[in-house]
Chains A and B, each alone.
Chain A
Amino acid sequence: MGIVDRIAEPWGTRTPYGPGQRWPTRVDRHLEPGLTEADIDRWVQSASVLHSNGDGLDIAVRDGRIVGVRGRAVDRVNHGRLDPKDLFGWQANGSSDRLTTPLIRRDGELVETDWDTAMNAVAGRTKELLEERGPSAIGFYTTGQLFLEEYYTLALIGHGGIGTNHMDGNTRLCTATAAAALKQSFGCDGQPGSYTDIDHADVIALYGHNMAETQTVLWSRILDRLAGPNPPAVICVDPRRTPVARAATVHLAPRPGTNLMLVNGLLHEILRQGRVDERYIEENTVGFDDLRQHLEEYPLERAAEVCDVPLADLREAARLIGTAQRLMSTVLQGFYQSHQATAAAVQVNNIHLVRGMLGRPGCGVLQMNGQPTAQNTRECGADGDLPGFRNWANDAHVEDLARVWNIDPMRIPHYSAPTHLMQMMRYVEDGSIRFLYVNGTNPAVSLPELHRIREILSQDRLFLVVQDIFPTETTRLADVVLPAATWGEKTGTFTNADRTVHLSEKAVEPPGRARPDLDIFVDYAHRLGLRDKDGDPLVKWSTPEEAFEAWKKCTAGRPCDYTGITYDRLRGGSGIQWPCNADAPGGTERLYTDGRFWAAPDRCEAYGRDMVTGAPVEPTEYRARNPHGKAMLEPGEYLPPHETVSDEYPYLLSTGRTLYHFHTRTKTGRAPQLQSAAPEVWVEMSGADADRHGWSEGDLLRITTPRGSVTARLRISAIRSGVVFLPFHYGYWDTPAGHEPALEGRAANELTFTDWDPASKQPLFKSGVARLERVEAEDGTPSAAPTTTASEPVGVTVPATRGGPDAEATETPDEGELR
């Protein structure tokens, strides 16, 4: 057993292993100071919710309080390990400033009220608007952090009960491109690969994916492979010198906005050298001739020039990918939130298809998710899809959903794709949406161009409901605030980025009068009087397990088939990967093992979109192109970015996360170890750029874009020259102004511009331009950026990020490994 400062060493101690071997177990544990396992009353099964990895963990309870966590050794995802955010983040549950009672706006002020008054106001305004203006005046904006049972209930209320098309999740910001790219290539959402592909791969390529910070436990698995015999080669595509880049065999740092050019160049080279699996292409795909012809325009030399990446590095990357025996690829925000997001992500799928690298151990694509339950938002139809990966453009699918819900198909709006978030904000702006129900998310910090978002959400004509666990920047703008229970205070299931379903059980009571989101939704449905076509209540459940059983019926025969899973089966052991049904009672590790896809015209979840214009492909066109439901090789034409540098704005701006925080810090900012590891916003720029200005570490800079400005202290890092980076976690809830800048902006989204990928509708947080000026010179204090991560300082010595005794966790390797 080791004791490790997990702020200083986020990935913990190495447990090396070789290809094809089992990843050794290492159980991580952190308890309140002074407590040992002997002091724990009970351990309650759950999984992690501060990232998308889905690590199995147990919650330690003593005297009705959460007092710690321990990784679950039996879980297939983490083999006992935990992310620092999970080791320490649970403390936020017990924070003294939780929302504990409903609030309602009276004479301009939010005042405490009772549930009955609050819910009558919410349901009352809904009914009024339905009568006056119809369902198009009602919108729902949910999250990637509720449980499956809650999303499904919400989707039923919105799509089946109220009949509005306006429902999306903040998954739009993190995972919409993953879904879009999977649908575009394979006809349906669902990650083809598995985390266990890391155990087998000989080449691992990470595209815009700083896995070391976004999924630390998964990265530990790669680090353990790298420390073992016959390690894989790692390819990293990232403009920052992330921990992934530092460990990589080849690091490509393209100019932001040129990802598609880069992958097109790699594909060109792979094809030029004939590193393709012709038989796989012939049997399992359509579109190869088009792709090949299209790629003629993208020789590696052109990519090197446009992306400003050394040609030799590109050649080496193409060689590694082209000669891999077992190629694994992952993709995340560096691609998803950048120019031409879907087209670039799809080219990664294309690499796997032309190389025939799918459905075998070590040969997987993971179009990753950003949030713990993002996959469920997608599956359940709470984010711009219909439940069970049904196709809104296929009448038979809509009829089938109506059968499950026992309603008239006409009640389910399907005249176009469910409205995506950014369009919903536009409808709120133009006054056609008058009621917005936000839950578990904080748009007043997380959406682009914040001054616009604050103006939109502050309108008098908008009735804003916010359901959350803390006062946030967004709750301050609400008409009604509903206090919710959170992880550990309610029961439900959720699914990670490799389709692993976990059960998270209630460990303690929620504080005050806070209620589980499911209870609130069910209450709302009853107050609205929603009925099915027999006059029975539309929502026929009240407990999580009943909701889960109903969900299973909705997934029967669908790609995300849950029918073989029960709460009981999830208890005690590991999470289970869907599809899990009578044919695959143990779950399914890899999809498409037989080269068969969910892409047949009658089965597919989507007919795809034009990746430049966003226009949905017409069903007849899809049918003509892909009658037999093969995988689709979809070319992507490179377009110049929408905003380019000028004399006025000479830098490209990128925003992103750091290892120690999640989203707008509502939880991680209330965990002392995490907060002190990254307490304040900073801005990163390269040494060459800083030298040119004569600026040093710790200088206070003002970053200005056509949208707004932020001041932040400078961290000189190994980021690509010409690019500046800001973390997006820092809003205003812990500043005197509360929800907006007092004098100087702090939230990165003051700066970002409103543009999104036309196919996935994901906002492009990693694009746009900026200028910088110095406000005051450093006074000897460095910036607050962590030293352990991509923000590692260059050229100066600053105190290393450490957590000290409070951040110590125990790590117990499992000696009985082979049992």
Chain B
Amino acid sequence: MNEVGMAIRELHRSENAIAVELLRIADRHKTDHEVFHVARDIARWSQRHVRELARVGRDYGVDLDDEPKEPHELPAALRRRASELLGRRHAPSLLLLRDLRTAHRMAAGVSLDWEVLAQTAQALGDRELLAASQRCHPQTLRQLRWANAKLKEIAAQAVVTA
């Protein structure tokens, strides 16, 4: 496998990881309804990126799974239930801060991986790879901004009233 293939494989892994993490965050914070719904909506972006990367990966001899990874359903259901049971407590809002921090860190990593791929695509003159990066990377940046914005929105309430 060549270096570009390695980069695609790494990005495929990191996009899968953030998609799964966003879905887990959604489940853990089911009582924070906006977090629940938005995290699921934007996890779908990463799932699309996974498919896209599997497709472009073939050009570089990398065999990647088209199907995005999903969190296991049983723990997911438990997380949702636990979130509902803990809805009356304040502690989960501190947990949400931690989860957003994780999402932010992961999205930042994915974003850098896309930068690497975009630069490479330009150097190689690979239009298809460049186009994939131009389609996907902005959505990664929106995931990053979401985690940042959500954290800013709830931080004061979570910490001051803890």
A binding-site residues for B, Cβ under 8 Å:
133-134, 136-137, 165, 415-417, 419, 422-423, 426-427, 429-432, 459, 610, 612-616, 618, 639, 642, 754-756, 758, 761
8 tightest A-B CB contacts, nearest first? A615-B149, A613-B146, A432-B161, A615-B145, A754-B33, A430-B90, A615-B146, A416-B153
B42 touches A614 (CB 8 A): no
Whole-angstrom CA separation of A137 from B157 in the bound complex: 9
**B90/A426 in contact, CB under 8 A:** no
Assuming the A-B contacts A416-B152, A613-B42, A755-B37, are A430 and B92 also in contact, with contact meaning beta carbons closer than 8 angstroms in the complex?
yes
Residues of B within 8 A of A416 (CB): 152-153, 156
CB atoms of A610 and B145 under 8 A apart: yes
Chain A residues near B149 (CB-CB < 8 A):
613-616
**Interchain CA distance A430-B148 in the complex, whole Å:** 22
B34 in the interface (beta carbon within 8 A): yes
Q: Does the CB pair B38–A431 fall under 8 Å? A: no
With A136-B161, A430-B92, A612-B38 already in contact, the answer to whether A756 and B156 are too (CB < 8 A) is no
Using known A-B contacts A415-B152, A432-B161, determine if residue A610 contacts B88 with beta carbons closer than 8 Å.
Answer: no
A-B contact pairs, 27 of them (CB 8 A): A133-B161, A134-B161, A136-B157, A137-B161, A417-B153, A422-B33, A423-B153, A426-B31, A426-B32, A426-B33, A429-B31, A429-B88, A430-B87, A432-B161, A610-B145, A610-B146, A614-B146, A615-B142, A615-B148, A639-B44, A642-B37, A642-B40, A642-B41, A754-B33, A755-B33, A756-B33, A758-B34
- Cα(A358)–Cα(B158), bound, Å: 44
Using a Cβ cutoff of 8 Å, how many contacts connect chains A and B? 84
Question: B150: which A residues are within 8 A, CB to CB?
Answer: 614-615
- CB-nearest residue of chain A relative to B91? A430
Chain B neighbourhood of A459, CB < 8 A: 88
- Tell me the bound Cα distance from A109 to B31 in angstroms: 31
Are A432 and B153 touching (Cβ within 8 A)?
Answer: no
Q: How far is the CA of A432 from the CA of B149 in the complex (A)?
A: 20
Judge if B160 is at the interface, Cβ distance under 8 Å.
Answer: yes
Q: Nearest-CB distance from A755 to chain B (Å)?
A: 6
Whether A431 touches B89, Cβ cut-off 8 Å, given contacts A136-B156, A612-B42, A615-B150, is yes
In the assembled complex, the CB of A730 is this many whole angstroms from the nearest CB of chain B, namely 25
Told that A165-B156, A430-B90, A613-B145 touch, could you supply 20 new A-B pairs with CB distance under 8 A?
A134-B160, A134-B161, A136-B161, A417-B153, A422-B34, A423-B34, A426-B31, A426-B32, A430-B93, A431-B90, A432-B90, A432-B157, A610-B142, A614-B146, A615-B146, A615-B149, A615-B150, A642-B40, A755-B37, A761-B34
Interface string of B92-113 (1 = CB under 8 A from A): 1100000000000000000000
Number of interface residues of B (CB under 8 A): 30
Residues of B58-98 at the interface with A, using a CB-CB cut-off of 8 Å, are 87-90, 92-93
Which residue on chain A has the smallest CB distance to residue B90?
Answer: A430
Q: Is the CB of A614 within 8 A of B90?
A: no
B162 to chain A, nearest CB (A): 8
Residues of A within 8 A of B41 (CB): 612-613, 639, 642
**Nearest-CB residue, chain B, relative to A757:** B34
Most buried by A among B33, B143, B156: B33
How near does chain B come to A290, taking the closest CB pair, in angstroms?
Answer: 11
Interface residues of B in 28-55 (CB under 8 A from A): 31-34, 37-38, 40-42, 44
CA distance A417 to B87 in the complex (A): 24
A430's nearest neighbour on chain B, judged by CB, is B90
B88 to A614, Cβ gap below 8 A? no
Cβ < 8 Å to A, chain B residues 110-162: 142-143, 145-146, 148-150, 152-153, 156-158, 160-161
Closest Cβ of chain A to B132, distance in Å, is 16
Residue of B nearest to A612 (CB): B41
User: Which among B40, B90, B143 has the highest number of chain A CB atoms within 10 Å?
Assistant: B90
B93 touches A613 (CB 8 A): no
The smallest beta-carbon distance between B63 and chain A, in angstroms, is: 29
Closest to B30 in A: A754
Residue numbers in B under 8 Å from A426 (CB-CB): 31-33
Asked whether, in the complex, the Cβ of A429 is within 8 Å of the Cβ of B87, the reply is yes
- Closest chain B CB from A765 CB (angstroms): 14
Q: A415-B152, A430-B93, A431-B89 known; A614 and B34 CB under 8 Å?
A: yes
With most chain B CB atoms within 10 A of its CB, the pick from A431, A612, A618 is A612
Complex: A639 Cα to B45 Cα, angstroms: 11
Among candidates A430, A613, A761, residue contacting B142 with C-beta atoms closer than 8 Å: A613
Query: Which B residue sits closest to A432, measured CB to CB?
Result: B161
CA distance A419 to B152 in the complex (A): 12
Q: How far is the CA of A642 from the CA of B33 in the complex (A)?
A: 11
A57 to B: closest C-beta gap in Å = 40
Complexed CA–CA distance, A754 and B32 (Å) = 10
CA of A422 to CA of B37, assembled, Å = 14
Interface residues of B in 10-37 (CB under 8 A from A): 31-34, 37
Q: Complex: how many Å from CA A137 to CA B38?
A: 26
A642 to B153, CA, bound (A): 23
A758→B37 CA distance, assembly (Å): 9
The minimal Cβ–Cβ distance linking B17 to chain A, given in whole angstroms, is 19
Q: Is the beta-carbon distance between A427 and B88 smaller than 8 angstroms?
A: no
Identify which of B31, B34, B93, B157 contacts A756 (C-beta below 8 A): B34
Chain B residues near A610 (CB, 8 Å)? 142, 145-146
Q: Which A residue sits closest to B153, measured CB to CB?
A: A416
Query: Residues of B contacting A431 with CB < 8 Å?
Result: 88-90
